[in-house]
Amino acid sequence: MKIVDVKTYSPVYPVKDPFSNAMRTTRERAFGLVEVMTDAGVTGWGEGATVPARRALDAHVIGRNPFDYEVIWEGLHKQGTDTAAISAVDIALWDIMGKALKQPIYQLLGGAFRTRVQAYATGLFRRERPDRTAALVEEARGYVDEGFKAMKMKVGFGPDYDIKNVAAVRRAIGDDILFAVDANCGYDVGTAIAVGQEIAKNNLLWFEEPISADDVEGYIEIRRALKMRISGAEQFRGRWAFRRMIQERALDIIQPDVCVCGGFTEFRKITAMASANHVRVIPHMFGTAIRLTATLHLLAALPDSPRALEPFPTLLEYDMSENALRTELAREPIRHSGGIVAVPQGPGLGIEIDREVLQRYC
């Protein structure tokens, strides 16, 4: 089997109700998709934060066997292609391999430890509302009503906002819901520790990206100072970016994104490094139906860490923000039921792309 063509797409979804994290206000969502075609008629789809340049595709992808996924990865990386763009090609190659072998990708990754994954609702952004606390409380209660047993809220907007609103949401959802917070790198070390000590009183599952993503020493300081798990690394590209953060145990949980870190091929290497260093992996997910599905296959194949009778939940980040490219791009959309998502069982990624939906946003 030979790769005969690669098409790239850059769809943009305009957000109707803009939302903010500590870094930016999101008014549109932009994605890089690739469609890899073979002479056997098998086509694979992939997503990355960006897509590779034409000359990189011509030099390292066209004409190759899709099962050469390591060789293709190295070739693109050596040439200087952004790892997030390599991710798109890599995911498409695994989609092709699964379709060619008539197996879901999780089967190629070593099999499923679980075929249903617990999801946590990612929402609770800051929005323009007359009473932000009331709006957050209402949104959080809505997730509980939908059946979610876990959720994540955005913080990093200053001590007053964070302390008041984290406590209000915890009160509203009760003690039984897993509750994480994410500062999107919005604080310096001192503020992160000061805010962290206050919000930790709300029994938080983790405190995500309190400071700049690559500040290893800063994360070590915060981790020693706070009595809660610290997570991060969703923006990291390639195994080298994760190396010190993992080896120095600067994070309790790393959150590689399959569409940023380098696809399935690189995700597995990062996971092995984390496992060897007793660092937990809970993937980041914020993208189209392709990223959601790829993340589900990884979660199916991720062993419990540690291997306990009552293990720490292997959680899917379930993005609740509006994005038709997540909810409509697959002909059979991935949906949660009572906070649980089933892993697709079809060959490859196990989804069929709706080209009309794709064209609408290109």
Residues that bind Mg ion (CB under 5 A): 182, 208
Neighbours of 342 (CB within 10 A): 14
Phi/psi at 180 (nearest 5 deg)? Answer: -110, 160
Q: Output 112 or 292, the one with its CB closest to Mg ion.
A: 292
Residues known to be catalytic: 284
Q: Output 284 or 336, the one with its CB closest to Mg ion.
A: 284
Taking the complex as a whole, the smallest distance from the CB of residue 278 to Mg ion amounts, in Å, to 22
265 Cβ contact partners less than 8 Å away, ≥ 6 residues apart = 69, 70, 73, 90, 94
Phi/psi at 330 (nearest 5 deg)? Answer: -90, 135
Is cis: bond before 130, omega within 30 of 0?
no
CA angle centred on 79, ends 74 and 83, rounded to 5°: 65
Q: Output 60 or 291, the one with its CB closest to Mg ion.
A: 291
Q: Which region holds residue 115: left if phi is over 0, alpha if psi is between -120 and 50, else beta?
A: alpha
Taking the complex as a whole, the smallest distance from the CB of residue 184 to Mg ion amounts, in Å, to 6
Taking the complex as a whole, the smallest distance from the CB of residue 110 to Mg ion amounts, in Å, to 27
CA angle centred on 317, ends 313 and 320, rounded to 5°: 135
Taking the complex as a whole, the smallest distance from the CB of residue 97 to Mg ion amounts, in Å, to 30
Element (H, E) at 240: helix 239-247
Q: Output 8 or 21, the one with its CB closest to Mg ion.
A: 21
Distance CA 27, CA 38 (A): 36
CB-CB contact of 256 with 281 (8 Å): yes
Element (H, E) at 300: helix 289-300
Q: Output 20 or 103, the one with its CB closest to Mg ion.
A: 20
Q: Which residues make beta-bridge pairs with 158?
A: none
* DSSP, res 49: S
What single string gives the DSSP state of each residue in 120-143?
EEE---B---SSHHHHHHHHHHHH
Taking the complex as a whole, the smallest distance from the CB of residue 211 to Mg ion amounts, in Å, to 13
Taking the complex as a whole, the smallest distance from the CB of residue 72 to Mg ion amounts, in Å, to 29
By C-alpha distance, which of 75, 114, 69 is closest to 95? Answer: 69
